[in-house]
Structure 1
């Protein structure tokens, strides 16, 4: 395109030369001076042509820079769109979290069941329990019974609600008999303590467990066969439990 433009300009200048009056008809005009004027004109036109070409190059560079800027802006717009979508996802998760927190607050405000008990075997004097046919241990000295899950007349804890419960117990006895007890859930043994007759004077032990209970499940303590435990107001033989959380 540029070469064609230069060629067209030169041809135009040559045409101007040929349409001038014949050299012989120019009167006293000096031919050398005339030629110098024409050469100067051509040089000026060539300089202007170079300037135009330079401007065209500048325009091309500006256009390339503009295209690069447009590409960069398009990339930034795509990144902004991606961040907007990510932000919308974060807002959705945040709203869900806030709703869950509100639900937990409302649940807490209603009040989770408060269930706990603790008791020891003897409520006065001293007591030796066992050996006996009825091996169930009935803890008469009740320290606490929040929720009324423990029945001190039977020694049985009945779960008021379903949930995870934690139970612990301790046993104390003398060397003349088997010492220990078993924690029973609905009549099935779960954990125990045990110590056979020994030469030492007395033995004590303890154990604990977390149990999943349904509402109405029953937990109590039993002696081993031919077993015996001892208690007094010092609370050597105990049974305790509480609700960790409802399910």
Structure 2
């Protein structure tokens, strides 16, 4: 091999060695760039996750604060509603008492007062034919009402007025009747598809001493009782005959 050929061989070999080294360097450079991009993305994802947690916490804090403010704002309204309910109940009692006093003043033939007003049923659920027993009494003039049995027994004969008032909630029936010595004389049946409602049944009865009146359930009933709704059973002698 001539010196010129040998020189050419070394030049060509050096050229290819430089090309190989440049390719390897470029490959390593690309890998490093990818690693840097991945690392940068991981940092960004971490920052976004932290920001999401902070936003979530801020939103929860804002909602909790608003709920607390709403509850605080409702407290006076709830108190006002409670007082209003008490005032209504007091007015009803006052009106009834005035009616009793008026009856006493006018007289029912003898000046004797026979009247009762009962509330607080022993259960909220009643079946057909079951007696509504009201175990608490506002008053029981003449002692005609029995809070254990729910029966009123006429101490004297005469004209009486009776009333039953009951309430039901959403999707519930309420069915009541006034029963005079086993005879159903007045009925009320109501179904409330939404919300709540109340119904009353009334009767005027001529009674002789010893006869009985009760309030009975005429259909499976679920009573609704709360500070605004109260089931009651009441009666009064309007005019005495015997």
**Separation in 1 of the partners of 2:216 and 2:225?**
15
Spell out, residue by residue over 1:196-220, the C-alpha distance to the aligned partner (whole angstroms, 9 max, x if none). Answer: 2x42121211122211001111000
Q: 1:215 aligns to what? A: 209
Contact 2:177–2:201 (CA under 8 A) maintained in structure 1:
no
**Residue 200 (structure 2) aligned to one of 191, 199, 206:** 206
Q: 1:153 aligns to what? A: 148
**Separation in 2 of the partners of 1:161 and 1:121?**
26
Q: 1:97 aligns to what? A: none
**Separation in 1 of the partners of 2:196 and 2:111?**
42
Q: SS state of the match for residue 193, structure 2?
A: coil
Q: How does 1:171-182 map to 2 (within 5 A)?
A: 171-182=166-177
Contact 1:180–1:229 (CA under 8 A) maintained in structure 2:
no
Q: SS state of the match for residue 152, structure 1?
A: coil
**Residue 243 (structure 1) aligned to one of 220, 237, 240:** 237
Q: 2:116 aligns to what? A: 117
Contact 2:133–2:149 (CA under 8 A) maintained in structure 1:
yes
**Residue 131 (structure 2) aligned to one of 129, 136, 142:** 136
Q: 1:11 aligns to what? A: none
Q: Residue 155 and residue 232 in structure 1: after superposition, are their counterparts in 2 closer, same or farther (change >3 A)?
A: farther
Q: SS state of the match for residue 113, structure 1?
A: coil
The alpha-carbon deviation at position 177 of structure 1 amounts to 2.7
**Separation in 2 of the partners of 1:129 and 1:121?**
13
Q: Residue 232 and residue 187 in structure 1: after superposition, are their counterparts in 2 closer, same or farther (change >3 A)?
A: farther
How many residues align? The count is 134
Q: SS state of the match for residue 194, structure 1?
A: strand
The alpha-carbon deviation at position 234 of structure 1 amounts to 5.0
What is the alpha-carbon root mean square deviation over aligned residues?
2.2
Spell out, residue by residue over 1:121-174, the C-alpha distance to the aligned partner (whole angstroms, 9 max, x if none). Answer: 348xxx5132x3661100112001000000000000000111000111211011
Q: How does 1:1-247 map to 2 (within 5 A)?
A: 111-122=110-121, 127-130=123-126, 132=127, 135-196=130-191, 198-232=192-226, 234=228, 236-247=230-241
**Separation in 1 of the partners of 2:121 and 2:228?**
9
Spell out, residue by residue over 1:175-194, the C-alpha distance to the aligned partner (whole angstroms, 9 max, x if none). Answer: 33321211100111111221
**Separation in 2 of the partners of 1:145 and 1:232?**
24
**Separation in 2 of the partners of 1:154 and 1:160?**
16
Q: 1:79 aligns to what? A: none
Q: 2:94 aligns to what? A: none
Q: Residue 141 and residue 231 in structure 1: after superposition, are their counterparts in 2 closer, same or farther (change >3 A)?
A: farther
